[in-house]
Amino acid sequence: MKPVSCLSAVMFTALVALPCAAQTTATLTTSGMLSGGYDGIGLFVAPESSLAGLQFTLSLSVNLTRMSGNRIGGENWVGNGGFGKPMLATGELTIAGRSYSWLIDSGSATAGLSSNRNAVGMSTNGKNMLDANNIWMSEFIQPDASSPRFVFGTDFAQTIVFDGYTLAPATSTGLYFETTIPYIPCNECPGASGPAVFTTYLEADNPRAVWTASPVPEPARYGMLAAGLGMVGLARRRVQAIRAVA
């Protein structure tokens, strides 16, 4: 068999292994000034300090392929079917130049768009696999009737930017985030027994919000691609060696 033919065959194998868009991830990013908050854990500022008035950026992403739901009229909402069911959510919160990240693969998650209510929402709850903290958070943006219209359709694969709006009266806050450390002994409580709970929470009334959804390749496909490209490199070196001998 000619070396060139072998190389062509290997290159074809690598191309077949190229990643495909088998998964879809939706992301809701909010930013602005915190209307309230308390850093009991000390993730961003000194422990037990107020977070009100500080600038923040929070990004939450959920894997939509692990969720299901109904799309009815102007409503499109999905969830993972209850606490403990398969799901995947990742996120990062930045305040005062310090960032905190999380990854939850067992808990609850929801996401959705509503053209009826001109609203977008995303939430997750579960154990952070990066540090064992408990995470509970909700981003729900529903502008009032005097605000511009932002949601014209409920297809997830789009970009929607919420800016310059006022929350509807029935919506108390656009963002709520809470993380707790549940298993630290209460050394500062004489005579008390059991774990102390340290909590960091925050909220924002009218944050700027950006919804995006994009396909991402399956992790296994990356491995196939790397193996295929490695075979291509090996075949090329073999061709060069044969030519050098000839």
DSSP string, 37-104: EEESS-SSSSTTEE-TT-EEEEEEEEEGGG-EEEEETTEEEEE-SSTTEEEEEEEEEEETTEEEEEEE
> Domain spans of the chain?
1-21+220-246, 23-216
pLDDT at 230 exceeding the cut of 70: no
**pTM for the model:** 0.73
Confidence band, pLDDT 50/70/90 cuts, at residue 24: confident
Per-residue confidence (pLDDT) for residue 176, from 0 to 100:
82
What SS3 state is found at 236? helix
CA distance 246 to 239: 11
Confidence band, pLDDT 50/70/90 cuts, at residue 199: confident
User: Taking residues 219-229, what's their average pLDDT?
Assistant: 47
pLDDT at 3 exceeding the cut of 50: no
Assess contact for 120 and 114: CB atoms under 8 A.
Answer: yes
pLDDT at 22 exceeding the cut of 90: no
Mean pLDDT score of the chain, rounded to an integer?
Answer: 78
Per-residue confidence (pLDDT) for residue 20, from 0 to 100:
37
Confidence band, pLDDT 50/70/90 cuts, at residue 93: very high
